[in-house]
Amino acid sequence: MQLCKVQRASAARSSRASRGQRVEVVCSSTAKFFVGGNWKCNGSVASVCKLVDELNAGTIPRGVDVVVAPPFIYIDYVMQHLDRDKYQLSAQNAWIGANGAFTGEVSAEQLTDFGVPWVILGHSERRSLCGESNEVVAKKTSHALAAGLGVIACIGETLDQRNSGSMFKILDAQMDALVAEVKDWTKVVLAYEPVWAIGTGVVASPEQAQEVHAYLRQYCAKKLGTAVADKLRIIYGGSVSDTNCKDLSKQEDIDGFLVGGASLKGATFVTICNAAGPKAQP
C-alpha cells in the first residue's frame, strides 16, 4: 500500500484561490483509472443509437474502468446494445430513499434490480437547479451504497467561492457531509468538478486541478485514514476534452475524469478513455 507524502510549496507558486500555502499530496490511487461519461439531458433515439455504435467501435484499455450515464429514458436501449465488456452503465440520479409514493423519482433499489451498477449523485446542476444540499447528497449517497450501487459523488466550488478564498471551506463542508454518512468508501468515486468550468469551455489548468485533488486526498487521509485515501479514486470534471485530457492525466492525484459534453461524441470520448497512459493497470 502506498503512503501519502505531504509536501508544501510556497504561496507564490500557489493558485490565487488557495490564499495561502499550497499543499501537494503525492498519493496516487491504487485502483483503476476511471472515466465517466455524463450525457445529461441530451439525446434522441437516433443520436443515442449513433453514439452507442461509435462507442462500440472504439478500443478501450482493459486497465481503465469506463462508465456512461444516459438519460433514464434511454438506459434500456443502451443496456441492450452497448458493449458491456468495455463499458459499464450509470444512472444520473437516484431518490434519497426506497420505493414509495414519490412521483417522478427512481430509487437505488430499482436501479440495482434493473442491473445498473452506478449512479452519479450531487452533481452541481442537481445542487444548484434542484436545491440539493450537502446533507441531502450525503444521505442519497449512503442509501445508494446500501442498495448496492457504486456512487460517483460530485463536489466543487463556484467561481465566486474560488475567487473569494472560500474554496477549501466549501469543499470541506461538502466532504464533511459525506464523511458523516458514508461508512464504506470502497464503491465511491469522488468527482471534483469546479462549477465555473462545467460546460463553459473553461478548464482548470493541470496545476489548479492537481492542487485541489491533492487537497482532497490529504483531507481523506486525515478523516478516513491513508488506507482509504490510497485507494479512493478522485477524478476531475470540468470541460475535459480530447485536447487537454493527457496533460490532466499526468497529474499525480488525478485518477480519471467525469466528462460532460465531450462524452456525446463517440470518438472524442474514446480518446479521453485512452488518456490514462501508465496509470492504466495491466
Taken in order 29, 154, 204, 275, is the CA torsion positive or negative? positive
- The residues, ordered by sequence, that sit 6+ positions from 40 with a Cβ below 8 Å of its Cβ are 71, 92, 125, 260
Going along the chain from its start, the domains and CATH numbers come out as 33-279 (3.20.20.70)
pLDDT band (50, 70, 90) for residue 11: very low
Tell me if 195 sits within 8 A of 159, measured CB to CB.
Answer: yes
Helices (H), the chain: 45-57, 75-81, 108-114, 124-130, 134-146, 159-163, 167-181, 206-224, 226-231, 245-249, 266-273
**Whole-model pTM above 0.85?**
yes
Question: CA-CA distance, 107 to 104, in Å (whole number)?
Answer: 10
Tell me if 220 sits within 8 A of 174, measured CB to CB.
Answer: no
| 24, 109, 123, 132: the active-site residue | 123
CA dihedral 268, 270, 274, 276 (to 10 degrees): 80
The predicted structure's pLDDT at residue 28: 57
Is the predicted pLDDT of residue 16 greater than 50, yes or no?
A: no
Active site residue 143: no
Active site residue 193: yes
Angle at 193 between CA 94 and CA 216, to 5 degrees: 100
CA-closest candidate to residue 105, choices 81, 132, 87: 132
- Can you tell me whether residue 265 is helix, strand or coil? coil
Question: CA-CA distance, 188 to 42, in Å (whole number)?
Answer: 25
Task: Give the pLDDT confidence of 173-215 residue by residue, as tens digits.
Answer: 999 999 999 999 999 999 999 988 877 777 789 999 999 999 9
pLDDT band (50, 70, 90) for residue 13: very low
Averaged pLDDT, 34-38? 98
Average pLDDT of the chain?
Answer: 90
C-alpha separations of 233 from 20, 117, 157 in Å: 26, 17, 19
Task: Give the pLDDT confidence of 155-184 residue by residue, as tens digits.
Answer: 999 888 988 999 999 999 999 999 999 999
DSSP state letters, 138-192? HHHHHHHHHTT-EEEEEE---HHHHHTT-HHHHHHHHHHHHHHH-S--TTEEEEE
The predicted structure's pLDDT at residue 165: 92
Start-to-end Cα distance in the chain = 18
| 109, 132, 157, 193: the active-site residue | 193
Task: Give the pLDDT confidence of 223-267 residue by residue, as tens digits.
Answer: 999 999 999 999 999 889 999 999 999 999 999 999 999 999 999
The predicted structure's pLDDT at residue 15: 39
The predicted structure's pLDDT at residue 3: 42
Tell me if 266 sits within 8 A of 55, measured CB to CB.
Answer: yes
DSSP state letters, 187-209? TEEEEE--GGGSSSS----HHHH
C-alpha separations of 215 from 155, 157, 200 in Å: 13, 14, 24
Task: Give the pLDDT confidence of 95-151 residue by residue, as tens digits.
Answer: 999 999 999 999 999 999 999 999 999 999 999 999 999 999 999 999 999 999 999
